[in-house]
Amino acid sequence: MHTVAVLALESSGGFDLSVVTEVFGSAYPLGRPTGCEPLYDVGIYGDPGARNTVVMGVSTTLVVETPYAWADAVEADTVVVLSPSAYTAEVPAEVQAVLREAHARGARIVSFCNGAFVLAATGLLDGRRSAVHWTHTAEFAARYPQVRADAAVLYVDDGDVVTTAGGAAGVDVCLHLVRRDHGAAVAAETAKHALLPLHRSGEQAQFIEHAHPVQDDGGLETLLRWMEAHLDTELTLSTIAEQAATSIRTLNRWFRAHTGTTPIQWLIRRRLQRAQELLETTDLSVEEIASRSGFGSAVALRQHFRRTLVTTPTAHRRAFTTGPV
């Protein structure tokens, strides 16, 4: 059985806790044979000398008794760091040591939302890309310049370290990990049992507020819509900058400030999403989907799928067209 250790720091998110226990706790072998055990054993780990306060909503709190000490988490297969509300607070040295040791022993380390600040403090994110909630991107980038903060994605799966942007992205990443561990069919059955969507289209960038853009913004939101409408055409930095009536340098600065990524990377992600949608909802050939999503050829589409999604178009279609969830 796969052991999941949930590190409940002071004032961790109650929603995060419920997501971990609900999704992993709903994962069973296919068909749920009579008397079968769940595929994951989820436990809450905390400071043995104190009860942990879990924030529920805005003003309500829930005190959670943690039956396991932080130090016990080093033996787990997956260690999940819940999002602490006080993300600027100093991370306890014991927690940092536990995370480093668990990782060194081969555990998969997962953070929810502001838990990325906790992982960054340990050095486990150095040189890596990390999902960060868009409201905290600037603070995160300033404190941890050695980490590539990405506010455009819902989560980043870097193999042994996984980070999420927060909120409902925890649902996405938990189901993704079930699928990674046990396959698409088990993930689909888990989602069905928990009454959750197996796959949520979109990225975090769609939630970023543009209502109060910086003075030199020049209408980035309008530009994003234009790029979205022209995904299937050849778009270079020069073409995009010309459409925005600005310089490439300013264009890159706008994108970094408002989406947390570059124009070309944003374009690739949107094209990948378009390709995923076509694979899931049509019978078009991979070659035709590559053309309609702007990759030009099936070879290019497969390369981007492998590099970014760690799968192939054919495998993705097979995983997400198994019937309604």
CA distance 199 to 175: 8
What mean pLDDT, rounded, does the chain reach? 83
Over the Cα atoms of the chain, what is R_g? Answer: 21
Instruction: Indicate the pairing of strand 155-157 with strand 161-164.
Output: antiparallel
- Paired with 12 in beta bridges are 54, 84
Instruction: Indicate the pairing of strand 52-56 with strand 60-64.
Output: antiparallel
Catalogue all structural domains in the chain, each as residue range(s) with its CATH number.
Answer: 2-193 (3.40.50.880), 211-325 (1.10.10.60)
**pLDDT over threshold 50, residue 35:** yes
Q: Are 205 and 225 a contacting pair, CB within 8 Å?
A: no
Instruction: Indicate the pairing of strand 52-56 with strand 78-81.
Output: unpaired
Comparing CA positions, the residue from 49, 56, 48 lying closest to residue 82 is 56
Residue 195, pLDDT score: 65
Q: pLDDT (tens digit, 9 = 90+) per residue, 183-231?
A: 878 888 888 877 666 555 445 443 433 333 333 344 677 888 899 899 9
**pLDDT over threshold 80, residue 49:** no
Q: Are 115 and 125 a contacting pair, CB within 8 Å?
A: no
**pLDDT over threshold 70, residue 322:** no
Q: Are 164 and 112 a contacting pair, CB within 8 Å?
A: yes
**pLDDT over threshold 50, residue 105:** yes
The token duo for 250 is 């300013």
Instruction: Indicate the pairing of strand 148-150 with strand 129-131.
Output: parallel
Residue 183, pLDDT score: 84
Residue 293, pLDDT score: 94
CA distance 293 to 194: 33
Q: pLDDT (tens digit, 9 = 90+) per residue, 248-293?
A: 998 888 887 777 678 998 899 889 888 988 988 889 999 999 999 9
Q: What is the mean pLDDT of residues 22-34?
A: 86
CA distance 118 to 83: 9
**pLDDT over threshold 80, residue 296:** yes
- Paired with 161 in beta bridges are 109
Residue 301 in 3-state DSSP? helix
